[in-house]
Amino acid sequence: MNSGSLGIGLLGLGNVGSGVAQELIKNKELLSERAGINLELRKVLVRDIHKSRFVDVDSDLLTTNWTDVIDDPNVNLIVELIGGETPAKKYVQLALSKAKHVVTANKELIAKHGQELLALAEDTKVNLLFEGSVGGSIPIISALTRDLSANRIDTIRAIINGTSNFILTAMAEQNMDGARALQLAQSLGYAEANPHNDVEGIDASYKLAILATLAFQSKIDPSQVYTEGISTLEAKDFQYARELGYAIKLLAIAKCEMKEIQVRVHPALIPDNHMLAKVVGAFNAVELEGNLLERTLFHGLGAGQGPSTSAVLGDILEIGRRIATQSYPVKFIELEQSPKIIPMNELKTLYYFRLNISDRAGVLAQITKILGDLDISIASVIQKDSDPSTGTAEIVITTHISKEESVQRSLSLLEKLDTVTKVNNVIRIEEILA
CA angle at residue 332 from 328 to 338, to 5 degrees? 160
Q: Quick one: which segment of 61-69, 188-196, 255-263, 325-333 binds ligand HSE (CB under 6 A)?
A: 188-196
Minimum CB distance to ligand HSE smaller for 191 or for 323: 191
**Residue 138 binds ligand HSE, judged by CB under 6 A:** no
Catalytically annotated residue among 207, 255, 340, 416: 207
Minimum CB distance to ligand HSE smaller for 70 or for 311: 311
Least Å distance between CB 11 and ligand HSE? 17
CA distances to 10, 39, 64 from 95, in Å: 12, 18, 17
Least Å distance between CB 198 and ligand HSE? 5
| CA 191 and chain centroid, separation | 12
Residue in 130, 50, 61 with CA at minimum distance from that of residue 311: 130
Least Å distance between CB 192 and ligand HSE? 4
**Residue 402 binds ligand HSE, judged by CB under 6 A:** no
| Among the listed residues 6, 45, 191, 311, the single contact to ligand HSE using CB under 6 A | 191
CA distance 394 to 357: 6
In this structure, the strands spanning 226-227 and 5-11 are unpaired
Q: Quick one: which segment of 37-45, 160-168, 224-232, 377-385 binds ligand HSE (CB under 6 A)?
A: 160-168
**Residue 161 binds ligand HSE, judged by CB under 6 A:** yes
Residue in 363, 359, 407 with CA at minimum distance from that of residue 385: 359
Q: Quick one: which segment of 3-11, 161-169, 251-259, 339-347 binds ligand HSE (CB under 6 A)?
A: 161-169
**Residue 162 binds ligand HSE, judged by CB under 6 A:** yes
CA distances to 28, 65, 315 from 127, in Å: 21, 24, 10
| Among the listed residues 203, 228, 237, 394, the single contact to ligand HSE using CB under 6 A | 203
Site track for ligand HSE across 77-96, x = CB under 6 A = --------------------
Helix (H/G/I), strand (E/B), else coil: 393: strand
Least Å distance between CB 94 and ligand HSE? 24
**Residue 200 binds ligand HSE, judged by CB under 6 A:** no
Residue 207 is a catalytic residue: yes
Q: Judge contact between 283 and 135, C-beta under 8 A.
A: no
CA distances to 168, 174, 199, 229, 306 from 178, in Å: 8, 11, 9, 12, 25
Q: Looking only at residues 292 through 311 of this chain, which bind ligand HSE when binding is defined by CB under 6 A?
A: 302-303
For residue 95, give every residue at least 6 positions away whose Cβ sits within 8 Å of its Cβ, in sequence order, or none. Answer: 70, 78, 80, 102
Minimum CB distance to ligand HSE smaller for 309 or for 392: 309
Least Å distance between CB 309 and ligand HSE? 12
Q: Judge contact between 83 and 89, C-beta under 8 A.
A: no
Q: Judge contact between 299 and 279, C-beta under 8 A.
A: yes
Least Å distance between CB 47 and ligand HSE? 20
**Structural element, H or E, at residue 269:** strand 260-271
| Among the listed residues 190, 238, 283, 353, the single contact to ligand HSE using CB under 6 A | 190
Cα dihedral sign, 372-377-383-385: negative
**Residue 199 binds ligand HSE, judged by CB under 6 A:** no
Q: Quick one: which segment of 116-124, 189-197, 225-233, 426-434 binds ligand HSE (CB under 6 A)?
A: 189-197
**Residue 205 binds ligand HSE, judged by CB under 6 A:** no
Helix (H/G/I), strand (E/B), else coil: 242: helix
Minimum CB distance to ligand HSE smaller for 70 or for 313: 313
CA distance 352 to 243: 13
CA distance 318 to 321: 5
DSSP state for residue 220 in the 8-state scheme: -
Length of the chain: 434
**Residue 104 binds ligand HSE, judged by CB under 6 A:** no
Number of residues that bind ligand HSE (CB under 6 A): 10
Least Å distance between CB 185 and ligand HSE? 7
**Residue 198 binds ligand HSE, judged by CB under 6 A:** yes
C-alpha R_g of the chain: 24
| CA 105 and chain centroid, separation | 12
Minimum CB distance to ligand HSE smaller for 127 or for 165: 165
Q: Give the residues lining the site for ligand HSE (CB under 6 A).
A: 161-163, 190-192, 198, 203, 302-303
Active site residues: 207
